[in-house]
Amino acid sequence: MAVDPLLLITHAEAGGADDLGAALEVLHGHASVEVAETSNPGELDGVLHRAGSRPIVVAGGDGSLHAVIATLHRRNDLAGKVLGLLPLGTGNDFARTIGMPLDPVEAAKALVSGTPRPMDLIVDELGEVVVNSVHVGASALASRRGATWKDRLGPFGLGLVGYPLGAALAAVRPPFVRLRVEVDGVVVADIDRHVLMVAVGNGASVGGGTELTPDADPGDGKADVLVSFATAPRARLGYAVDLLRGRHSERDDSVYLRGTRVSVAGEEFWLSTDGEISGPEGRRSWHVERAAYSMLVP
């Protein structure tokens, strides 16, 4: 089956050259493919400038996909774009959500036979985008510590262990914060009560498969919001166990709902946005931009 010409973007310092080569063999058998290596935002902007109407395939993980979508959004060039994903990252959480095979060759086969599906985008009041998930509190600390361990263990092929290890370390002394959380104007948490964490999910999982917002669907027009009040020692342990079992959203000390607008304000907090850590912040709000772009899915 012939496929429209593709622009494939990869990071110059990314690993997985053998996996990329094998995937490219599949793609070259069906389409004309331009491969562009980028090493900084300026180069990425230049490559995207010449993309034209070609589908853009991102060879990388959640961070690489975030960088491409954020650049297109900033250029006001995201609407109408069709993207594809070759999951060559460590966690590949958005690929898991949209059902892309994690094997690069199988993913390439899925790309050439896939169909475009509209995808939502979460955008904050500063214009920064969330492709997969943003979370604050203990989960952000887990990501922050997990990133350190990912870098340390990556050379040994154990990078995926980083997030669970970071989560375990974060659970020892989690950063309880008093936050007011509103979803579509309804207060679901107020500053008179500590929260363990807040997650706003467009995709279902973080950290390489931990389903933080398990029912999230990036095509349903809404963000999934999880608020955990499990701050007592026994409750934290129970929450951690239930998170591993995929039942944390059903707990009595958790709130799980969907909405199109979310705001968080109160004591200073750190954020993990598609794996990137930022903060501290005192307030942040997000809204859903429905069908902001399309992804090639199986």
- Chain segment 94-112, per-residue pLDDT in tens: 999 999 999 999 999 999 9
Q: Angle at which helices 162-172 and 233-245 pack, to 10 degrees?
A: 160
Do 6-113 and 130-289 fold alike per CATH? no
pLDDT value, residue 179? 95
Instruction: Kindly list the domain boundaries of the chain, sorted by start residue.
Output: 6-113, 130-289
The total of other beta-carbon atoms located within 10 Å of residue 188's CB is 18
Lowest mean pLDDT among 1-10, 186-195, 240-249: 1-10
pLDDT at 171 over 60: no
Distance between first and last Cα of the chain: 15
CA neighbor of 131 nearest in space, from 80, 184, 183, 67 = 67
Q: Which CATH number describes the domain made up of 130-289? A: 2.60.200.40
Q: Which pTM value belongs to this model? A: 0.88
Find tokens 């750190």 and name the residue: 270
pLDDT value, residue 165? 46
Residue 201: phi, psi to the nearest 5? Answer: -115, 130
CA neighbor of 104 nearest in space, from 32, 17, 38 = 17
Please compute the mean of the pLDDT values over residues 242-267 and round it to a whole number. Answer: 94
Q: Angle at which helices 17-28 and 104-113 pack, to 10 degrees?
A: 30
Q: Specify which residues 116 forms β-bridges with.
A: 296
pLDDT value, residue 153? 45
Distance, in Å, from the CA atom of 109 to the CA atom of 27, rounded to the nearest integer, reads 8
- Tokens matching residue 72: 């297109």
pLDDT at 88 over 70: yes
pLDDT > 70 in the chain, percent: 85
pLDDT at 31 over 70: yes
Report the amino acid identity of residue 291.
A
Q: How confident is the model at residue 90 (pLDDT cuts 50, 70, 90)?
A: confident
> Is residue 265 a contact partner of residue 92, using CB atoms and an 8 Å limit?
no
Cis check: omega of the bond before 280, within 30 degrees of 0: yes
Please compute the mean of the pLDDT values over residues 87-97 and round it to a whole number. Answer: 93
Give tens-digit pLDDT for 111-158.
999 999 999 999 999 999 999 999 998 767 666 655 554 555 454 544
**DSSP string for the chain:** -----EEEEEETT---HHHHHHHHHHHHTTS-EEEEEE-SHHHHHHHHHT-TTS-EEEEE-HHHHHHHHHHHHHTT--TT-EEEEEE-SSS-HHHHHHT--SSHHHHHHHHHH-EEEEEEEEEETTS-EESSEEEEEHHHHHHHHHHHHHHHHGGGT-GGGHHHHHHHHHHHS---EEEEEEETTEEEE-TTSEESEEEEESSS-BTTTB-SSTT--TTSS-EEEEEE---SHHHHHHHHHHHHHT-GGGSTTEEEEEESEEEEEEEEEEEEETTEEEEEEEEEEEEEEEEEEEEEE-
- CATH fold of the domain at 6-113: Rossmann fold (3.40.50)
Give tens-digit pLDDT for 41-70.
889 999 999 899 999 999 999 999 999 999
